[in-house]
Amino acid sequence: MPAKMFYDRDVSLSPIEDKLIAIIGYGSQAHAHAQNLRDTGLNVVVGLREGSASRVKAEQAGLRVASIEDATREADIVMLLIPDENQPATYEQSIAPHLTEGKALAFGHGFNVHFGRIKPPTGVDVFLVAPKGPGHMLRRVYADGAGMPGIFAVAQDATGQARDIALAYARGIGCTRAGVLETTFKEETETDLFGEQSVLCGGVTNLIQAGFETLVEAGYQPEIAYFETLHEVKLIVDLIYEKGFEGMRHSISNTAEFGDYVTGPRIVTEQTKAEMKNVLTDIQEGRFAQRFIDDAESGFPFMNEQRGKMRGHQLETVGKELRDMMPFISKKELEV
């Protein structure tokens, strides 16, 4: 049975038109949610901690800013969009004491509810609306009149309105322009962690880096290696995004298409897929979550070491030089 997809025509904004939405945080997702909801005509307040570096950015965007406590007290819906590792402490200290009956507590990712790190009270609605893409792109596509697909889930429906509120919220940030479907906190959490690790972020970056290093170590010019293994990925993926594998393969040469079929399975092998299944099990059984939280609670030693390794990598240095020569690639700093 195909999933029921929800689009603008299927979803009313009325469940949230007279509600105040507190967006807690002002980072990648939060700035996009806040601005998109505001531009949809909904009532938004941004909740930030004392001395927040984000305050000036939110105010420059024309958004009202309050403390997390005041924003929670005032709002009907509280959308918690700060880093996953920091959510439990902020929730306990600044949100829970003011999360009164009838309000809604919302998330952009199910991590902390699914792994039992945040346990909301029974008298509130609990839902998630997870856009399927980076926050900066959620804002960009909305501003361009387009939308980013999203998924929503209800973990607790105290008011009997939670599902309609979640769907209206998804429309408010522009996701029903592209399509929204219902999920669960478990499915959203596990598929999102799997996808970002095995394909979108971990898989893709390691594939690109291995390809670049293979060419450079064989003596080819790093600029050609950059164009071939990184820059052109977007161009190929744009065709896949628009037309699927078939459309992309229509555009490339027969030579490339033949090589695609011959060599692809040598790179992404049966062992790769077997390891993907192991990755999924690690996620399902909480081992990844525990490793992430342990690193976070120790000040991210592993994460910072990895960040350091890439900082001087030729892929980054050559890439920046080449991108600087392409005026059509935005040089604008990311807003947050």
Catalog residues that contact ligand X2X under the rule CB under 6 A: 133-134, 192, 196, 200-201
Contact between 168 and 11 under an 8 Å Cβ cutoff? The reply is yes
d(Cα 74, Cα 46) in Å, to the nearest integer? 11
Residue 67 annotated as part of some ligand binding site: no
- Which residue of the set 31, 33, 109, 114 is catalytic? 109
Residue 27 annotated as part of some ligand binding site: yes
Candidates 108, 150, 172, 179: give the one binding ligand NDP (CB under 6 A).
108
Contact range with ligand NDP by CB under 6 A, out of 78-86, 164-172, 207-215, 267-275: 78-86
Candidates 88, 121, 134, 149: give the one binding ligand NDP (CB under 6 A).
134
Candidates 83, 202, 264, 265: give the one binding ligand NDP (CB under 6 A).
83
Residue matched to tokens 């291995």: 210
- The answer to whether 79 contacts ligand NDP (rule: CB under 6 A) is no
CA distances for 154 relative to 72, 159, 189, 207, angstroms: 20, 12, 13, 36
Contact between 8 and 171 under an 8 Å Cβ cutoff? The reply is yes
Name which of 18, 30, 84 is nearest 55 in CA terms: 30
φ and ψ at residue 65, rounded to 5 degrees: -120, 140
- The answer to whether 192 contacts Mg ion (rule: CB under 5 A) is yes
Contact range with Mg ion by CB under 5 A, out of 112-120, 164-172, 194-202, 205-213: 194-202
109 part of the active site? yes
d(Cα 183, Cα 186) in Å, to the nearest integer? 8
Which residues are at the interface with Mg ion (CB under 5 A)? 192, 196
Known binding-site positions for Mg(2+): 192, 196, 228, 232
| Catalytically annotated residues | 109
